[in-house]
């Protein structure tokens, strides 16, 4: 019952808000926050009792939900982040006329994510996967009158949908392989060829959903949505779902000879390359989006090297950290009207609470000890090192980049140049109480979840996840990565401080005029432009995939119009002509015969009516004439 309530409650509340429409505007935020709070309680109960539920879907095909060690961690994380985001959104969207739609979609979206992390069979996973994709599209394009935002939602939706085909291929292969009940736990036991096909489909779908290479660009476009949507998508839901799926199915990856190494290298490569992309960004939300790809690269790497405890810890730590950072970015966007790093100079001093909690989140993102992501990342890197020293080196280099982009963000919001004082004189919107209320717990999570790596807690954590023997990082590895993070972070912050002081006052940007795209793109070196434009991944996808597909579609449409439809139209024309001609010839002959026969009958009838005069004397005369003719015939023929 608890397993069903956990997923049904947010979905039912969301559907009710959507059905009520504008009439639910006043109650939408309290209903969403209340539902999210009850969901947190249900998640805690589920984590303690580990419930399971199964109902028949089709003959021999059940629909199952179950809360085990891994999903217990995830349902708690998803429900807690949903509560924080809904609380924050109650303040940021308090005057938006579409609140009913936003909170309704958000609850349905969160419910779909809860189903995803508790599903035990492929049909249930597929259904939740689809609902999550559809509602994410609606949330990204929430302000649908802005066509650029709608376009961003379309790019995100179509890219993830393309990768989602993999999950259907996996399901088809599982059906062909005869996996009992299409249970996730049974996929590893599929026969060799079918097992490879299932693994290929799962890997494709998970990499697309997690915005790993080469699908990372859709996350940049998803920044068109409201900040609460970004916080929800980038932290514990949607993007994290792909990493979770790989972590859940790591035995399937390990059962093949290629999937686990492939996933590990894609994760490490994404962490490194998208980390470089994040360093080059001048837009805070773009920086955070690129860092999401990079940090989730560690989660994908964990699935590839079978670091379940580290992967789950990275999931939780990143969820708290990234939700906090996106909500801070949203608070500044609401207050100052900009998300450009030059325009946010000194923003942390104008909003001290937001500045402090943002700094905690960014320091955690940098991997600074003893904050949460530091230890989680090292858990994964230690497992990568046991698998391949090259993987460890790439992961460590990505960690240095994480400290660099985090330091750049911290420096941007704290430092002021000589001309930045005028920002303080400009009006700014206040950060409301609901917005502040969501930030502090998330900051506590970003700072304190590193305790999961302390010896007593680490043993309990591994026991909870069912991997008590999984080794952790050595003290040397922890110290090395911590020192690298601290040195890099300190160096970048100091360099940014010097750069800000040297900046002439006349060059200080105005937040209201800072463009969304970097103004100096044209003059920037090619390498910088490549990084700012997210490695040109979207252009490559447009040239290599979208345009050929559209060209093929147009060609097929032409073939359909001119050959198929034209053939059908020509056949119809010929049939009509032939039937007309045949009708003309045959009907003419038949009509002529019929008309001649009728004319003959009419003529005979006319002749037969001639003796019928009605005069008795004429009838007598005709009788006498007939009798005489009869006698004559008897005489002639009777004499023979």
CA distance 237 to 211: 12
The ranges assigned to domains in the chain are 538-608
Residue 505 confidence (pLDDT) above 60:
no
Question: Is the backbone of residue 66 left (phi > 0), alpha (psi -120 to 50) or beta?
Answer: beta
Q: Are 336 and 511 within 8 A, CB to CB?
A: yes
Residue 30 confidence (pLDDT) above 60:
yes
| Token pair recorded at residue 606 | 């006319």
CA distance 399 to 378: 10
Angle at 324 between CA 366 and CA 449, to 5 degrees: 65
CA distance 527 to 521: 11
φ and ψ at residue 370, rounded to 5 degrees: -100, 30
Q: Which neighbouring-strand residues pair with 55?
A: 63
Q: Are 368 and 486 within 8 A, CB to CB?
A: yes
List pLDDT tens digits, range 550-594: 999 999 988 888 887 878 888 888 888 888 887 776 666 777 888
What is the model's pLDDT at position 516? 46
What is the model's pLDDT at position 87? 93
| Token pair recorded at residue 82 | 């949903």
Read off the pLDDT band of 596 (50, 70, 90): confident
What is the model's pLDDT at position 504? 60
CA distance 545 to 450: 42
Q: Are 413 and 358 within 8 A, CB to CB?
A: yes
List pLDDT tens digits, range 429-482: 777 888 888 999 999 999 999 888 787 888 999 999 999 989 888 899 899 999
Kindly state the percentage of the chain with pLDDT values over 70. 93
State how far Cα 201 lies from the chain centre: 16
CA distance 179 to 202: 15
DSSP, collapsed to helix, strand or coil, labels residue 63 as strand
In angstroms, the Cα distances linking 258 to 139, 193, 199, 383 are 36, 13, 10, 18
List pLDDT tens digits, range 162-211: 999 999 999 999 999 999 999 999 999 999 899 999 999 999 999 999 99
- Mean pLDDT (whole number) for 225-253: 91
Kindly state the percentage of the chain with pLDDT values over 90. 62
Number of Cβ within 10 Å of residue 598's Cβ equals: 10
Full-model pTM: 0.84
Read off the pLDDT band of 503 (50, 70, 90): low
Residue 380 confidence (pLDDT) above 90:
yes
Q: Are 274 and 297 within 8 A, CB to CB?
A: yes
Closest CA to 297 of 404, 220, 212, 388: 212
CA distance 376 to 626: 131
Residue 62 confidence (pLDDT) above 70:
yes
In angstroms, the Cα distances linking 217 to 34, 156, 290, 326, 619 are 35, 8, 9, 18, 112
CA distance 205 to 126: 11
What is the model's pLDDT at position 524? 61
One-character DSSP codes across 110-130: HHHHHHHHHB-BHHHHHHHHH
In angstroms, the Cα distances linking 174 to 120, 128, 164, 327, 480 are 14, 18, 16, 41, 44
């Amino acid at each position: 019952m608890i397993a069903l309530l956990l997923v049904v409650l947010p979905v039912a509340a969301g559907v009710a808000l959507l059905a009520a429409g504008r009439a639910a505007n006043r109650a939408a935020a309290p209903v969403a926050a209340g539902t999210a709070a009850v969901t947190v309680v249900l998640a805690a109960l589920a984590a303690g009792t580990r419930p399971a539920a199964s109902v028949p879907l089709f003959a021999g095909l059940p629909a199952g939900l179950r809360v085990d060690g891994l999903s217990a961690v995830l349902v708690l994380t998803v429900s807690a982040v949903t509560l924080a985001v809904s609380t924050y959104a109650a303040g940021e969207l308090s005057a938006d006329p579409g609140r009913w739609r936003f909170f309704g979609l958000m609850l349905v979206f969160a419910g779909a994510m809860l189903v995803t992390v508790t599903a035990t069979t492929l049909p249930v996973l597929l259904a939740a996967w689809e609902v999550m994709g559809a509602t994410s599209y609606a949330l990204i394009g929430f302000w649908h009158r802005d066509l650029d935002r709608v376009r961003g939602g379309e790019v995100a939706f179509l890219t993830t949908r393309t990768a989602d085909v993999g999950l259907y291929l996996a399901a088809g292969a599982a059906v062909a392989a005869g996996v009992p009940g299409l249970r996730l736990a049974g996929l590893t036991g599929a026969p060799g060829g079918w097992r490879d096909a299932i693994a290929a489909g799962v890997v494709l779908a998970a990499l697309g959903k997690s915005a790993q290479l080469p699908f990372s660009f859709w996350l940049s476009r998803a920044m068109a949505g409201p900040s609460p949507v970004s916080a929800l998508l980038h932290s514990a839901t949607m993007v994290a779902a792909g990493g979770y799926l790989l972590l859940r199915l790591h035995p399937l990856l390990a059962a093949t000879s290629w999937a686990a190494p492939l996933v590990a290298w894609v994760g490490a490569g994404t962490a490194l390359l998208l980390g470089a992309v994040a360093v080059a960004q001048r837009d805070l939300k773009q920086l955070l989006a690129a860092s999401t790809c990079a940090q989730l690269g560690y989660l994908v790497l964990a699935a590839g090297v079978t670091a379940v405890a580290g992967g789950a810890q990275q999931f939780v730590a990143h969820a708290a950290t990234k939700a906090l950072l996106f909500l801070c970015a949203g608070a500044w966007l609401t207050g100052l009207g900009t998300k450009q790093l030059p325009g946010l100079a000194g923003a942390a001093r104008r909003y001290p609470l937001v500045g402090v909690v943002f700094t905690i989140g960014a320091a955690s993102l940098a991997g600074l000890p003893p904050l949460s992501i530091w230890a989680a990342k090292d858990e994964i890197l230690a497992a990568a090192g046991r698998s391949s020293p090259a993987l460890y080196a790439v992961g460590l280099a990505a960690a240095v980049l994480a400290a660099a982009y985090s330091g750049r963000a911290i420096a941007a919001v704290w430092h002021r140049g000589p001309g930045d004082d005028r920002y303080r004189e400009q009006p700014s919107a206040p950060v409301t109480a609901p917005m502040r209320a969501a930030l502090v717990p998330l900051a506590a999570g970003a700072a304190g979840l590193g305790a999961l790596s302390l010896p007593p807690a680490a043993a309990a954590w591994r026991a909870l996840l069912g991997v008590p023997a999984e080794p952790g990082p050595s003290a040397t590895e922890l110290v090395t990565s911590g020192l690298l993070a601290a040195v890099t972070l300190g160096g970048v912050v100091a360099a940014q401080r010097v750069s800000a002081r040297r900046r002439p006052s006349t060059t200080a940007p105005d937040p209201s005029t800072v463009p969304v795209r970097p103004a100096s793109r044209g003059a920037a070196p090619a390498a910088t432009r490549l990084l700012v434009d997210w490695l040109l991944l979207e252009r490559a996808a447009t040239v290599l995939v979208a345009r050929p597909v559209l060209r093929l579609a147009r060609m097929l449409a032409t073939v359909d119009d001119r050959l198929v439809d034209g053939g059908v139209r020509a056949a119809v024309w010929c049939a009509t002509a032939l039937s007309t001609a045949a009708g003309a010839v045959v009907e003419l002959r038949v009509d002529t015969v019929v008309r001649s026969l009728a004319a003959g009958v009419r003529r005979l009838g006319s002749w037969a009516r001639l003796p019928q005069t009605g005069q008795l004397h004429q009838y007598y005369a005709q009788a006498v004439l007939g009798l005489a003719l009869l006698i004559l015939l008897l005489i002639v023929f009777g004499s023979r």
